[in-house]
Amino acid sequence: MDTQILYNIFHQDAFGLNIAIYFYLTGLSAGSFILSTLAYSFGMDQYKSIGKVGVVLATVLLVIAPFFLLIHIGMPHRAWHLFVYLNMASPITWGSFLLVLYPINCIIYGYFMFKGHIKLTRIFGLIGIPLAISVHGYTGFILAFGKARALWNTAIMPILFLASAIVSGIALMILVCIIKDRFFSKEKKINQELILNLGKLLAWMIVFDLFLVGSDLIVLAISHSDAQAAAHLILSGKFSILFLLVENLLGKILPFILLAVPKFRRLTTVIIASILVIIGIFFMRYIVVVGGEFLPLL
């Protein structure tokens, strides 16, 4: 008599909460840096007051972020292997060097900004933009290269990560500028014109982010069976409440209404919208990372 033995093997998750936090912090850093260059590199003088705030935020967040990566890998003392044993086809190799070059450029950029060297500030600001994009963009490529994970394996993932990084960066900048003006400036007065302008910019970026999310969902829903299972997971499965209610309704749609409708647009509503966006984008990172690994590999 023939006997058939079946083994139910559970695959260990490659990523988890620490990686979601790492992705989130690098996104905040990239968004903050890009905002800081608007005045000094692109001549948008109305945003000049956020230049120094942006570069400080970008640098601090990029210093904190790798600690979550080191905690995740379990053997942080072996991190130097990433710089010796190279795989040029892997985004992790590229990301390792970017994580060194980007904060160095942030420090140089910030130094010249605080010293008032406008020309050099502009040069290092322009150098830093592709570095900031690459530092966060490579995280999207890491996920997109996961061929067995339908939620990750999409060409739109790096762009979605960058768009959400700018969204969260603007929201964080709004809150930090309000705190700085209210408690750490001589006048103790909030620059409402700047905050409302940033609010309008945030509203437009939310629209773009929602467009990318919607496009991704449509493709998943009409694609192969694994992709449809991923769409079901976030639309009506285990992650549906976090995705539909927290990430999109509370984290994007409601903030957009508060920011875009003129009768709602005031300082208080901009603060509320920014807080909701920061929370929503964090759960976006969590859902993508953890939810992408939820479905078992066959």
Q: What is the pLDDT of residue 246?
A: 97
Tokens of 225: 């069976």
pLDDT over 90 (residue 209): yes
Segment 250-260 mean pLDDT: 96
pLDDT band at 240 (very low <50, low <70, confident <90, very high): very high
Higher pLDDT, 148 or 203: 203
Q: Please, what is the angle between helix 267-286 and helix 192-221, to 10°?
A: 30
- Can you tell me whether residue 223 is helix, strand or coil? coil
Q: How confident is the model at residue 78 (pLDDT cuts 50, 70, 90)?
A: confident
- Give the closest residue to 216 by CA, choosing from 227, 203, 226: 227
Percent of the chain clearing pLDDT 90 (strictly above): 66
Burial-class residue 63 by CB neighbours within 10 Å (0-12, 13-18, 19+): middle
Q: How far apart are CA 55 and CA 131, in angstroms?
A: 13
Asked if residue 61 lies in contact with residue 33, where contact means CB atoms within 8 angstroms, the answer is no
Output the six-digit token pair for 101. Answer: 């070059």
Alpha-carbon span 236 to 246, nearest angstrom: 14
Lowest mean pLDDT among 66-75, 112-121, 149-158, 197-206: 66-75
Band of residue 95 on the pLDDT scale cut at 50, 70, 90:
confident
Of residues 115 and 139, more confidently modeled: 115
Burial bucket for residue 277 (CB in 10 Å: 0-12, 13-18, 19+) = buried
Average pLDDT over residues 53-58: 94
Confidence of residue 12 (pLDDT cuts 50, 70, 90): low
- Residue 232 backbone dihedrals phi, psi, to 5 degrees: -65, -35
Pick from 33, 228, 49: which is nearest to 127 by CA?
33
Q: Name the residue with tokens 């790096």.
A: 158
Query: For residue 163, which of 245, 280, 49 has the smallest C-alpha distance?
Result: 280
Q: What is the average pLDDT score of the chain?
A: 90
How confident is the model over 107-127, as a mean pLDDT? Answer: 95
CA atoms within 13 A on the CB side of 84: 4
Residue 93 has pLDDT above 90, yes or no: no
How much is the average pLDDT of 274-296? 93
- Structural domains of the chain, ranges and CATH numbers in brackets: 14-145 (1.20.1630.10), 191-298 (no CATH)
Summarize the confidence of residues 41-56 as an average pLDDT: 91
pLDDT score for 2: 63
E strand intervals along the chain: none
The pLDDT of residue 5: 57
Q: Is 183 exposed, middle or buried (0-12, 13-18, 19+ CB in 10 A)?
A: exposed
pLDDT tens figures, 168-201: 999 999 999 999 999 988 888 899 999 999 999 9
